């Protein structure tokens, strides 16, 4: 056996024990040297790796038997060419060829979870389906209820039309129940049948007139409505909402009562009033202009206030914010063509809101009523009132329309609203007689009625030391709110039902 570092490994393959062992010499190269690690050698000055030893097949079936016989086991090797480790030549640019290799992306296997339905028990799935059917049924029921409510004829409001023939008047046929609301700021209970019958007889005796009539008892909400929601040419009754808007600006500090307003040439208007005779550039205080607009129905003063408060469209937006739908300014005064419109119901509603302080402060409310009581044109509604009754009102008179609307105070303490507008043949005097007759019938009806308390409304609670209860938070009087949300231009929303205070001179 030579001094070789090769190890002899017995093969697992069994051989015949009778086979003779062959001794073979191991070839060695004289010029090869093994390094210290024993796995490399030099050949011709080049370091080469030593070949790994091959497994030796034993000559006999047992290696231990060979040792006992004194024979050596010679490994059977094949001559191998040593591999020379050389450095690869650097790659010269432009000499190599690039080959695009397409690699197929392997699909990533996903774990498939069992469906929720497969995990639920049969009873749970039954309950789940029942809940789904319930939700779908509720949704379909809500949709159908909304559709039916929209298509319900009872919810459709058809505005009453106007006609030159009295036989074509449209009157409200439905009888409202208690606590029903008709018009902004009004509490209505039931119609007064005797008064309505009387007024109807007066109307039918004047077949060439087309009136709109609205009478309301502010104590108990009883009323008379004959074509009251119809749109009529406003004439000078449009000055009532303009006056309310003016004092609303006074309350918010946008206008001062002593502010100077200058008369401009384009504001001068014909018709009623005396400011038209003043020279352009003449100055008036704001309170003086507002007073002339109402007391002598000055058209020039009206145009000055419209301009001061931002113009017609700005005022129309405020009217709509109060809940007025037919009241609108479309032309400056005098509006002889009747393009400015309103209705008896909206005029009465506006006066009701003013009397309760829903739109203006109590101080401004008192100023408004005081100015309207000083009206110099008292040939319509005031002619039907008895002794001791007072009225804060405003008339309107153009060729096609005659109107008067106001708040009446009786000596008994009762208050009621009266608004009458009549379309007529040009300057027909019978319209004036009809308004006077309607006012007289209403006065007689409300004077005979016993004074009633405020239908269970709470009495005023005035804190001691506060005169007239001004600027004091008081309980609601039970009237519904009349304001429409979203008041434009930064104006405050109408007050929520402040306590009513009687006017004091």
112-116, 177-181, 245-249: segment of lowest average pLDDT: 177-181
pLDDT at residue 105, as a whole number? 62
Q: In terms of pLDDT, which residue wins out, 352 or 93?
A: 352
Place of tokens 């009237």: 479
Among 90-104, 372-386, 480-494, top mean pLDDT goes to 372-386
User: What is the location of CATH 3.40.710.10 in the chain?
Assistant: 169-255+309-451+475-490
Q: In terms of pLDDT, which residue wins out, 428 or 134?
A: 428
Region 416-429: what's the mean pLDDT?
96
Task: For residue 221, give the 3-state DSSP assignment.
Answer: coil
240-244, 422-426, 460-464: segment of lowest average pLDDT: 460-464
Please determine, for residue 264, whether its predicted confidence score (pLDDT) is greater than 60. Answer: yes
**How does the average pLDDT of the chain come out, rounded?**
75
Place of tokens 């009883």: 222
Please determine, for residue 80, whether its predicted confidence score (pLDDT) is greater than 90. Answer: no
Please determine, for residue 301, whether its predicted confidence score (pLDDT) is greater than 50. Answer: yes
DSSP string, 261-292: EEPPGGG---SS-SGGGSPTT-EEEHHHHHHH
Other Cβ atoms less than 10 A from the Cβ of 311: the count is 12
21-25, 429-433, 439-443: segment of lowest average pLDDT: 21-25
pLDDT at residue 22, as a whole number? 56
Is-contact 169 226, C-beta < 8 A? yes
pLDDT tens for 189-200 read 999 999 999 999
158-162, 278-282, 312-316, 419-423: segment of lowest average pLDDT: 158-162
Q: In terms of pLDDT, which residue wins out, 390 or 178?
A: 390
- The predicted model scores a pTM of 0.58
pLDDT at residue 456, as a whole number? 42
pLDDT at residue 170, as a whole number? 41
Region 291-310: what's the mean pLDDT?
97
Residues 6 or more apart in contact with residue 95 via CB below 8 angstroms: none
pLDDT at residue 116, as a whole number? 54
pLDDT tens for 336-387 read 999 999 999 999 999 999 999 889 999 999 999 999 999 999 999 999 999 9
Q: Which CATH class is domain 169-255+309-451+475-490?
A: alpha beta
Please determine, for residue 477, whether its predicted confidence score (pLDDT) is greater than 50. Answer: no
Sign of CA dihedral 58, 63, 69, 72: positive
pLDDT tens for 130-161 read 888 889 888 888 888 887 776 654 444 343 43
131-145, 322-336, 479-493: segment of lowest average pLDDT: 479-493
Other Cβ atoms less than 10 A from the Cβ of 389: the count is 18
Region 167-194: what's the mean pLDDT?
56
Question: What's the CA dihedral at 247, 252, 254, 259 to 10 degrees?
Answer: 50
């Amino acid at each position: 056996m030579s001094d070789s570092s090769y190890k002899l490994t017995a093969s697992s393959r069994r051989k015949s024990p009778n086979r003779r062992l062959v001794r073979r010499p191991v070839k060695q190269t004289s010029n090869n040297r093994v390094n210290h690690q024993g796995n490399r050698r030099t050949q011709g000055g080049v370091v080469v790796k030593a070949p790994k030893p091959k497994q030796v097949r034993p000559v006999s079936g047992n290696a231990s038997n060979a040792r006992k016989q004194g024979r050596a086991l010679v490994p059977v090797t094949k001559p191998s060419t040593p591999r020379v480790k050389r450095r690869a030549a650097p790659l010269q640019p432009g000499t190599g060829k690039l080959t695009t290799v397409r690699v197929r992306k392997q699909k990533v296997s996903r774990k498939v979870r069992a469906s929720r339905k497969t995990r639920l028990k049969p009873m749970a799935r039954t309950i789940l389906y029942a809940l789904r059917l319930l939700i779908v049924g509720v949704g379909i029921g809500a949709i159908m209820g909304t559709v039916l409510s929209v298509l319900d004829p009872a919810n459709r409001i058809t505005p009453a039309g106007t006609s030159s023939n009295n036989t074509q008047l449209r009157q409200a046929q439905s009888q409202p129940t208690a606590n029903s609301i008709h018009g902004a700021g009004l509490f209505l209970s039931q119609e007064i049948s005797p008064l309505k019958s009387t007024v109807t007889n007066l109307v039918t005796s004047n077949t060439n007139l087309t009136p709109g009539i609205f009478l309301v008892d502010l104590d108990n909400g009883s009323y008379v409505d004959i074509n009251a929601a119809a749109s009529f040419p406003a004439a000078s009754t449009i000055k009532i909402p303009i006056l309310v808007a003016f004092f609303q600006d006074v309350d918010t500090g946008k206008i001062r009562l002593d502010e100077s307003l200058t008369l401009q040439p384009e504001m001068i208007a014909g018709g009623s009033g005396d400011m038209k005779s003043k020279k352009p550039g003449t100055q008036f205080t704001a309170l003086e202009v507002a007073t002339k607009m109402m007391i002598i129905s000055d058209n020039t003063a009206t145009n000055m206030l419209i301009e001061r408060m931002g113009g017609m469209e700005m005022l129309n937006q405020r009217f709509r914010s109060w809940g007025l739908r037919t009241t609108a300014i479309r032309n400056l005064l005098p509006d002889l063509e009747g393009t400015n419109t309103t209705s008896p119901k909206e005029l009465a509603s506006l006066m009701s809101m003013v009397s309760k302080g829903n739109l203006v402060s109590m101080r401004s409310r008192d100023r408004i009523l005081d100015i309207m009581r000083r009206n110099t044109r008292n040939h319509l509604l005031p002619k039907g009132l008895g002794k001791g009754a007072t009225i804060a009102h405003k008339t309107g008179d153009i060729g096609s329309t005659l109107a008067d609307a106001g708040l009446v105070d009786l000596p008994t303490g009762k208050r009621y609203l009266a608004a009458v507008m009549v379309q007529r043949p040009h300057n027909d005097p019978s319209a004036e007689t009809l308004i006077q007759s309607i006012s007289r019938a209403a006065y007689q009806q409300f004077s005979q009625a016993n004074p009633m308390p405020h239908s269970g409304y709470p009495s005023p609670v005035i804190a001691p030391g506060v005169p007239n209860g001004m600027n004091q938070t008081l309980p609601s009087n039970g009237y519904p709110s009349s304001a429409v949300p979203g008041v434009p231009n930064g104006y405050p929303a109408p007050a929520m039902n402040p306590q009513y205070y009687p006017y004091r001179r």
